[in-house]
Amino acid sequence: MTTRTHRMTFPLSEEDALNLRAGDQVIIDGEIVITAGVPTHERLLRCLDGLEPAPMDLQGAALFQLGSFSREAPDGKFELLYLNPTTSTRFNPYMPRLITGLRLRAVGGKGGLDENCVEAMRVAGCVYLSFLGGGCTPLTQAVRRVVQVGWADMLTHYRLVRLEVEGLGPVTVGIDAHGRSLYAEVREQAQQRMPSIIEGLDRQREEMRPASGKSGS
């Protein structure tokens, strides 16, 4: 299968999200929203439930599980010092409602999301983008400015931070808006191969076992 590379402006339109296929590469320009906090996702659900106002407009946004450190500069603006992906599977319990409730067009981080999230993405027209683990330097270099910081009362990496980026990536479409997940396919392939792997290991152990009754000199 030929890998396609797209340079796209975020947030994505529904049409753009549906055009992407699992395995495609994406270079991101435009605006994204990031956080690495489980408490932040819990708080976002409170917003959906009408228990508190959202700190920024997230309808149709790109919401990524990227850790960051932002600080207030002398001019009163926030300065971002680094950007790095965190494991998305920690957020499996929260993402289905957030994806459908906010009609998110793109989510991402590293490690993928579960089947409940995949179904929510299919319904909402949303893709999961896989970021380079440990890719702090090239990811941070793509940040042009901090547009908005939400919930500045939280720890820096828990805040919602809206960023303007240019040339962020490339990132991989790990799950597309049609329900195909590269993570699920890899797990399935591993499960199919497991019996033969175990059989091979058993055979190697048997071959390495000393012959019974063999005496030493």
Each residue's pLDDT tens digit, 184-201: 887 676 665 666 666 666
Query: Does 193 reside within a domain?
Result: no
pLDDT exceeds 80 at position 73: no
Task: State what percent of residues in the chain have pLDDT above 90.
Answer: 70
Query: Does 49 reside within a domain?
Result: yes
Query: Does 210 reside within a domain?
Result: no
Q: Is residue 157 within 8 Å of residue 141, measured between CB atoms?
A: no
Q: What is the pLDDT of residue 196?
A: 63
Query: Does 212 reside within a domain?
Result: no
Query: Does 190 reside within a domain?
Result: no
pLDDT exceeds 50 at position 217: no
pLDDT exceeds 90 at position 176: yes
d(CA 119, CA 97): 11
pLDDT exceeds 50 at position 56: yes
- Give the pLDDT confidence of 121-172 residue by residue, as tens digits: 999 999 999 998 878 888 999 999 999 999 989 998 899 999 999 999 999 9
Alpha helices in 58-114 (DSSP H): 95-101
Query: Does 199 reside within a domain?
Result: no
pLDDT exceeds 50 at position 19: yes
pLDDT exceeds 90 at position 82: no
Domain range for 162 is 5-182
Q: Is residue 12 within 8 Å of residue 63, measured between CB atoms?
A: no
Span 101-130, average pLDDT? 97
| From 19-33, 66-80, 150-164, the region with the lowest mean pLDDT | 66-80
212 pLDDT band (50/70/90 cuts)? low
CATH code of residue 118: 3.20.130.10
Query: Does 171 reside within a domain?
Result: yes
Q: How many domains does one find in the chain? A: 1
Query: Does 101 reside within a domain?
Result: yes
Alpha helices in 20-155 (DSSP H): 38-48, 95-101, 115-124, 136-141
